[in-house]
Structure 1
Amino acid sequence: MSTPSTATTTPPSSGLEASMAARRTPEQLKASRALLWRELLTSLWAPLVILGVAFIPYIILIEFVPAAAAWAQPLMQDLALAMLIFFVGLIVWRTVFPKKQKLRHLRHEARELVSELERIHQRLPGKISAEVSAKLTEQAMLVEAASLAGDAALLEKETKTLDTLATQLLGAFRKQGAWDFVSGFAKALAVAVVIRVFIIEPYRIPSGSMLPTLELGDQVFINKFIYGVRLPFTNYVPFVIVRPPARGDVIVFNNPVQQDVDFIKRVVGIPGDKVELIDGQVFINGEAQPRTLEKEDLIVYNRHENMPWYPEHLRLYQENLGGKVHAVLQEGLHARTDREGPYIVPPGNVFVMGDNRENSLDSRYGLGSGRGVAFVPYGNIKGKAMVVWMALGYGGWFSGLFDGTGLRTDRLFEPVR
């Protein structure tokens, strides 16, 4: 009767990370955590992550407490400027100190290798003997010690030794690591698709039809779930999540007349409403929606495709649409058309108009088709516009280099009202 091998009688390892954690002294643990945080905060991703973490509560705040934008928007703009300076500083630091950058790269490679070995341990519980795990743990601790010491040459040597040892002891298992990479990438892609399809999506303002609320070149985020989840590749919303579209909402929708084209307009009429315009003033179900003249000569800048920017002199009004106050524009003292409508909004549809009332292909004009009134079915609505996250419009930074188009920092994080 043969004697059982050591690999069979020794209990299997619980994991590389667990074995390493058991060997660390309190001082090593503290130093390891401090190094990890230092590496994270000096990553080029750090400014973007910090800004993104602050942006999430910001959009929730301005959505539910609109008045908070008066102080929250300047804070977000200041934070964005600080993160830009931080990002540029990191690039300069890496350029001036290339040895530090090399050490950072080596530490990244070492962490990736240790993470790979940990995944193998977790994927194959009980199949890796404690002796093999102990050898890998011992060498991994040497790698960690070199990393904490900041010795680039030693770290490179110990990492190569660990890589060679892992190939010798786990060669067959390491070949399966490619699937880990593919599955990890697939999971990340799936998360990104879910976020874009069901939660939030960017949209670029393509025209001046929503001036002055949204300017040409503004990039906005739209809330994809507030009205209900729109099933991909369909125009069907099985159920409402928060609420249906309301008067005054600015929505992005797939044009039901011009397929594969997205429009952004303001909801003026909801199902059952009778909408009329008399000398530019909106009437809903026979009731005038109040509007007040704010400025007789407002200059806004517009452009058409491949054409230069040009100024427009328009009258600025503040319109109260069902309790939602927003800006609208009109060319002269009187509207071009004395009377428009009435338009009766059918069930499951909304009536939309642009805030630049006399320069908008909206429901009054067949949503660009020119064939009478056109409504927007609920199923065509992609979401509600929330906030401007980027603005590449007239003026701003570097506009002299790009035919008048520049980064409009004054419009960053502007709530869409």
Structure 2
Amino acid sequence: MSTTTATQAATGLEASMAARRTPEQLKASRALMWRDLLTSLWAPLVILGLALVPYIILIELVPPAAAWAQPLMQYLALAMLIYFVGLLVWRTALPKQRMLRHLRHEARELIGEIERIHKRVPGKISAEAFTRLAEQAMQVEAASLAGDAPLLEKETRALDALATQLLGAWRKQDLWDFFSGFAKALAIAFIIRIFIIEPYRIPSGSMLPTLEIGDQVFINKFIYGVRLPLTNYVPFQIVRPPAHGDVIVFNNPVRTEMDFIKRVVGVPGDTVELINGVVHINGVPQPRTLVKEDQVVYNKHENTAWFPEHPRLFQENLDGHVHAVLQPGPTAREEREGPYTVPPGHVFVMGDNRENSLDSRYGLGAGPGVAFVPYGHIKGKAMVIWMSLGYGGWFSQFFEGTGLRTDRLFEPVR
């Protein structure tokens, strides 16, 4: 065995194939790789996902940037939808290309399996066996580059038979490696969902007009501190504690089977009182301006149709955090509510649809009496609407008024 062959055998199948390629083959191989990546049905979703990460960071750190960044994201989403539909049409119209993609995928999986076996048992594959495998793998690649489906299938089967002949015992063990790799991917997804970001669907109209029924939001799981799984314990704060105006998702401390989404109105030590609908924090009234006398919003209850409501729309400035709130009539339902003093390690929450919300004023849905939300029950801060299946929108005529609301895509939660 030559020194070159021995070196290639030590470094792996992919390295050995790379050493055998001519510059023209290398260029063609890279071009084919990018073509396969860009014609994958996952490509539009991956591109949109990659764009969403910096978008979320941008609108969280520089909120005014949403004025131009949100339309850009909406145009990108439309472009990716057209891209996805185009790929489907292309695959349907050209079955040969669909077959080639399938065969190339099988070939890559087989070459990847041989590579994993080589890494797991370094030095145990003879130089002669390795050379035969590398040469046959190059035949597979040549057929793939030529776009010859029958030849590619023939050469891939030949490589599969050769791998079984030369690596038979180790191939049986590689099945476990495949499943362990799948388990690792699931674990990573679980960690992301538990500790970093999680989706949440808005189930009711308690946060109208900020959040509508059917909005799907991403919540920041780490800003206040990571909550240990299966517990309501946060060992340490990461970025900051909950602040006035934050929209949070939390596990209801009195109805633990449910998650709620509300706005933080009071933080530890605050005394909160409502006087004719105006929020007072520690005796200071929070500015509130009437924006519209008749704001039309659509609501629905479980197993009922959508119905319009006509409340008054206000703009409220909650300790510097400006947001919209609704009030049904010219006066609040109760002239005075409170005062409520927030204990340490808790927050006082209310819905933006002020008289249609089971919030801290009403025991968080458990009955009369005030109820505060412990820090440990807070799952995270709502950041952005990534999808909305609400009243109106695309195809709503087929689903009893519920459709895809493209106008709400990527809207920041303020």
TM normalised by structure 1 equals: 0.97
Corresponding residue number in structure 2 for 1:359: 356
* Kept in 2: contact 1:110–1:143 (CA 8 A): yes
Q: Deviations over 1:160-187 (max 9, x none)?
A: 0000001000101111111111101110
Distance 1:257 1:375 in 2: 9
The code of the aligned residue for 1:390 comes to M
Corresponding residue number in structure 2 for 1:19: 16
* Kept in 2: contact 1:13–1:130 (CA 8 A): no
Identical amino acids, percent of aligned pairs: 79
* Kept in 2: contact 1:200–1:222 (CA 8 A): yes
1:92 partner SS:
helix
Distance 2:152 2:6 in 1: 31
Structure 1: gaps (5+ residues): none
2:294 partner SS:
strand
Corresponding residue number in structure 1 for 2:277: 280
Distance 1:115 1:156 in 2: 17
Q: Does 2:137 align with 1:159?
A: no
Distance 1:89 1:287 in 2: 57
1:112 partner SS:
helix
Within 5 Å, give how 1:93-108 maps onto structure 2. 93-108=90-105
Q: Does 2:300 align with 1:310?
A: no
Structure 2: gaps (5+ residues): none
Corresponding residue number in structure 2 for 1:347: 344
Instruction: Classify 1:10/1:343 alpha carbon distance in 2 versus 1 (closer, same or farther; 3 Å).
Output: closer
Corresponding residue number in structure 2 for 1:248: 245
- Pick aligned residue for 2:117 from 104, 117, 120: 120
1:329 partner SS:
strand
* Kept in 2: contact 1:106–1:155 (CA 8 A): yes
Q: CA deviation at 1:371?
A: 2.7
1:360 partner SS:
coil
Corresponding residue number in structure 2 for 1:401: 398
2:296 partner SS:
strand
Within 5 Å, give how 1:10-409 maps onto structure 2. 13-409=10-406
1:176 partner SS:
helix
Q: CA deviation at 1:31?
A: 0.7
Distance 2:155 2:398 in 1: 50
* Kept in 2: contact 1:14–1:125 (CA 8 A): no
Q: Deviations over 1:8-40 (max 9, x none)?
A: x97753211111111111111111000000000
The code of the aligned residue for 2:230 comes to F
Question: Which stretches of structure 1, 4 residues or more, deviate above 2 A after TM superposition?
Answer: 9-14
Instruction: Classify 1:307/1:10 alpha carbon distance in 2 versus 1 (closer, same or farther; 3 Å).
Output: closer
1:297 partner SS:
coil
Distance 1:176 1:16 in 2: 18
Q: Deviations over 1:241-299 (max 9, x none)?
A: 00000000000000000012000000000000000000000000000100100001000
Instruction: Classify 1:10/1:258 alpha carbon distance in 2 versus 1 (closer, same or farther; 3 Å).
Output: closer
Distance 1:180 1:187 in 2: 10
* Kept in 2: contact 1:13–1:128 (CA 8 A): no
Distance 1:319 1:99 in 2: 60
Distance 1:292 1:119 in 2: 65
- Say what the alpha-carbon RMSD is for the aligned residues: 1.3
1:298 partner SS:
coil
The code of the aligned residue for 1:138 comes to E
Distance 2:155 2:197 in 1: 45
Distance 2:379 2:6 in 1: 59
1:117 partner SS:
helix
